[in-house]
Amino acid sequence: MKDESLKNQVALVTGSSSGLGKAVAIYLGKAGAKVAVNYHSNEEGANDTVKQIKDAGGEAFAIQADVADEESVENLFDKVFSTYNNLDILVSNAGIQKDAPFTEMKLKDWRLVLNTILDGAFLCSQVAVRYFQKRGIITDISNSAGKIIFMSSVHQDIPWAGHINYATAKGGLTEFMRTLSQEVANQKIRVNSIAPGAIKTDINKDVWSDEEKKKKLLELIPYNRLGKPEDVAEAALWLASDKSEYVNGTTIFVDGGMSLYPGFIGNG
């Protein structure tokens, strides 16, 4: 049976030219949502996401924007509204890693990661929430006035030496998500996060493409395999649909058990 759980809905997925964002955009598109495929610099990747959605019978278009820049975000949403005249789902996914030992980390890389993850979440969800509040619920479409999904990480909880900018941003994103949900849930706006573990994408290619490093990484995953972007996309689809209507202000971990302190297996 064809999945039409998001029929007539409009979704914006930031950072959907590759990796998790790409898989999420394709899943939402296949479930019937019209998808705005945002990218920062990888136009080719975004066009491919659009193509995959269209090939599956869906609707999508690609649009460049820097989620950390206020004007760019305003243009992004203007384009979404002028193209699809609506918005139901925001997946605030755009993220970046700029790793370095703490004492060597440059302020510019600290800021780039925090700005992309936190300013991006702030700017995009602010426009989305204002719109959802103004529009309210359209019962034919969804029981909620709007849905926001943040792409977090297991590192919202697990400290990560050598990645202090990233772990700090994801930790902050968690309290941002929870506070926003507390603030807008009574308007039937649903806000949640997904916390992926080690999913095989470009962001961690240097680890999974090296046999030694991959072996060590697998020791951190009780389920003993790397995640696939589709594992995360399944969770996003569920959070975007009314099937999860009563789920508010929470994080779904999609991590093969990475957050279960696997170092304690046979230890401690």
Interface with ligand BGC (CB under 6 A)? 97, 153-155, 197-198, 203-204
Distance of CA 150 to the CA centre of its chain: 5
* SS3 letters across 172-186: HHHHHHHHHHHHHHH
Shortest distance (Å) from residue 153 CB to ligand BGC: 3
Cβ neighbours for 107, distance < 8 A, ≥ 6 positions apart: none
Shortest distance (Å) from residue 51 CB to ligand BGC: 26
Of 153 and 192, the one with the shorter C-beta distance to ligand BGC is: 153
Q: How many Cα atoms sit within 13 Å of 52 on the Cβ side?
A: 20
Shortest distance (Å) from residue 154 CB to ligand BGC: 6
**Residue among 39, 84, 166, 261 flagged as catalytic:** 166
Residue tagged 């964002």 (tokens): 21
Strand, coil or helix: what is 17? coil
Strand, coil or helix: what is 7? coil
CB of 21 closer than 8 Å to CB of 15: yes
Of 50 and 154, the one with the shorter C-beta distance to ligand BGC is: 154
CB of 220 closer than 8 Å to CB of 238: no
166 in active site:
yes
Q: What is the DSSP letter of 119?
A: I
Which two three-digit tokens encode residue 101?
């030992």
* Closest residue to ligand BGC using C-beta atoms: 153
Shortest distance (Å) from residue 170 CB to ligand BGC: 7
> Residues with catalytic annotation?
166
